[in-house]
Amino acid sequence: MPAFEQCRTEALGGLQQRCNRCGYQQPQYHSCRDRHCPKCQGRAQQAWCEHQRQAVLPVTYYPLVFTLPHELNGCVALRPEVIYRSFFQSVWKTLSAFGRDPKRLNGTLGMTCILHTWGQALTRHVHLHCLVPSVALTESGAIRVAKSNYLFPVKALSRHFRGSMVSALRQATKVGELHRITRPGEIDATPNQLMESDWVVYTKAYLKQPETVVDYLGRYSRKTALHDRRILGIDGNQVSFRYKDYRDNHRHKVMQLAGEELIRRFLLHILPKGLMRIRHYGFLANRCRQATLSQIRNGLAETDRINPSGRSEDDGKRNDRQDPLPSTCPRCTTGRLIIVYEILPKRFAYG
């Protein structure tokens, strides 16, 4: 919370700017750069998407969404690092098992997945957005390409994922990682209850165009639970914000919450320190991505090594290092704002 409160205020310091034509002056304060801050993710999202363009293959992509049942929300509140880790591992274990099935692709898949923990109403809704290329690497180094509209059967994926996740929870209980759950019988009753319900795995039709793939990734890569654009107004202690009701034909509605309740719901989605919410698996893992992508492109007879964005990797890095152009003066609209001096952070300022 202190990071959000100080973001783009005099507490973090900044730069004093002056118009070179009319003399108008204004400060530009630094941002907190916290990954949960709604104001600080735009530039990070652009940089991340630019990096991902280098890994886009000339194949179709399959988007999938894995969702944890709401019965696990209590466990998430007590031990989020354990549940989220098991969640990532169970999803990859499921997709990897299907990919290695001799009756399917008989090879190693690649996957990029992004963790989201919220619904539109800011309640806890833990799910993973996954994107899987339609190729697999066999043990012999051959390339296998999936040609169906959907990657794997949804019901089969759901059952395998459910079994894998419940098994991971029981293992975590066995080694004492869920020790904060102290209600009598809760640890034993929850897995049994979960096995009796159907789990949700949602799969969309494939994405074919490379730019569509990057847009899909970028849309989810740096989202936060609530952005300023969704807030419609503040009346005393009541905050009104816009949300989409997926259970009512995706209609846009307005919800009003007390300020304390809004903050409480927002803080439900602060991730444990050090937990990576974007991960890559299989042949897209960071340790082997460069080699495997080259192998797959060669196997697909891909001779043009220019990335889909039409810019080389060096061009992207060079543009990232360039200083931004001066902003237009908001008063005269013709002059340019130039930096006059640096504003020290308030906590270090003298006097």
Mean pLDDT, residues 94-106: 93
91: confidence class by pLDDT, cuts 50, 70, 90: very high
315: confidence class by pLDDT, cuts 50, 70, 90: very low
**Domain locations in the chain?**
2-35+322-348, 57-223+268-306, 226-262
The whole-number pLDDT of residue 101 equals 93
The whole-number pLDDT of residue 319 equals 39
Q: At 246, which amino acid appears? A: Y
The residues, ordered by sequence, that sit 6+ positions from 324 with a Cβ below 8 Å of its Cβ are none
Residues 20-29: tens digit of each pLDDT: 999 999 999 9
- Cα(first)–Cα(last) distance of the chain, in Å? 26
Mean pLDDT, residues 155-169: 94
316: confidence class by pLDDT, cuts 50, 70, 90: very low
Residues 164-180: tens digit of each pLDDT: 999 999 899 888 888 87
Residues 195-241: tens digit of each pLDDT: 888 898 998 877 777 677 877 777 777 778 888 889 999 999 999 99
> Rounded to an integer, what distance in angstroms lies between the CA atom of residue 181 and that of residue 185?
10
Q: Are 129 and 215 in contact (CB under 8 A)?
A: no
Is it the case that residue 116 has pLDDT exceeding 90? yes
Q: Which of 351, 349, 346 is nearest to 6 (CA)?
A: 346
Task: Report yes or no on whether pTM surpasses 0.85.
Answer: no
326: confidence class by pLDDT, cuts 50, 70, 90: low
312: confidence class by pLDDT, cuts 50, 70, 90: very low
φ, ψ of residue 9 in degrees (nearest 5)? -125, 175
The whole-number pLDDT of residue 66 equals 96
